[in-house]
Structure 1
Amino acid sequence: MATLALVCAASTPAFAHPHVFAEARLDVMVNGNREVEALRHVWRFDDLFSSTVLLEFDRNQDLTLDAEELQEVADVVHESLAEFNYFQVVTANGRDVGMQPPERLMTDFVDGQLIILFESRPAGPMPLQGRVEFGVYDPTFYTAIDFVEDSYMNVENLPEGCSRAVIRPDPEEAIAQNQQTLTEAFFNDPGGNDLSKIFATKLEIRCDANG
Structure 2
Amino acid sequence: MATAMGAVAVLSAASAPALAHPHVFAEARLDITVSEDSKVEALRHVWRFDDLFSSTVLVEFDQNQDLELDADELKEVANVVHESLAEFDYFQIVTADGRDVAMQPPEKLIADFTDQQLIILFESRPKEPLELEGKLDFGVYDPTFYTAIDFTEDSYMAVENLPQGCSREVIRPDPDEAIAQNQQTLTDAFFNEPGGNNLSKIFATKLEIQCSANG
Identity of aligned residues (%): 76
The match for 1:10 is 11
Aligned mate of 1:38, from 29, 39, 42: 42
Structure 1 runs (4+) greater than 6 angstroms displaced: none
Q: CA RMSD in A?
A: 1.3
The match for 2:75 is 71
Deviates more, 1:61-70 or 1:187-196: 187-196
Q: How high is the TM-score relative to the length of structure 2?
A: 0.95
Q: Distance in 2 between matches of 1:122 and 1:164?
A: 19
The match for 1:144 is 148
Q: Is the 2:8–2:24 Cα contact (8 Å) retained in structure 1?
A: no
Aligned mate of 1:158, from 137, 158, 162: 162
Q: Extract unaligned runs of 5+ from structure 1.
A: none
Helix, strand or coil for the counterpart of 2:195? helix
Q: Distance in 2 between matches of 1:189 and 1:46?
A: 28
Q: Distance in 1 between matches of 2:12 and 2:105?
A: 19
The match for 1:52 is 56
Deviates more, 1:178-187 or 1:154-163: 178-187
Shift in Å at residue 182 of structure 1? 1.1
Shift in Å at residue 185 of structure 1? 2.5
**Residue 90 in 1 paired to residue 91 in 2?**
no
Aligned mate of 1:171, from 144, 163, 175: 175
Evaluate the alpha carbon distance shift between residue 59 and residue 165 of structure 1 in structure 2; reply closer, same or farther with a 3 A threshold.
same
The match for 2:120 is 116
Helix, strand or coil for the counterpart of 2:21? coil
Q: Is the 1:190–1:196 Cα contact (8 Å) retained in structure 2?
A: no
Q: Is the 1:13–1:188 Cα contact (8 Å) retained in structure 2?
A: no
Q: Distance in 1 between matches of 2:115 and 2:170?
A: 29
Shift in Å at residue 55 of structure 1? 0.3
Q: Distance in 1 between matches of 2:127 and 2:177?
A: 32
The match for 2:203 is 199
Q: Distance in 2 between matches of 1:169 and 1:140?
A: 17
Q: Extract unaligned runs of 5+ from structure 2.
A: none
Q: Distance in 1 between matches of 2:83 and 2:39?
A: 28
Q: Deviations over 1:17-64 (max 9, x none)?
A: 100000000000000010000000000000000000000000000000
Shift in Å at residue 107 of structure 1? 0.5
Q: Distance in 2 between matches of 1:186 and 1:115?
A: 33
Q: Is the 1:10–1:140 Cα contact (8 Å) retained in structure 2?
A: no
Q: Distance in 2 between matches of 1:104 and 1:53?
A: 19
Q: Is the 1:108–1:115 Cα contact (8 Å) retained in structure 2?
A: yes
Shift in Å at residue 183 of structure 1? 1.3
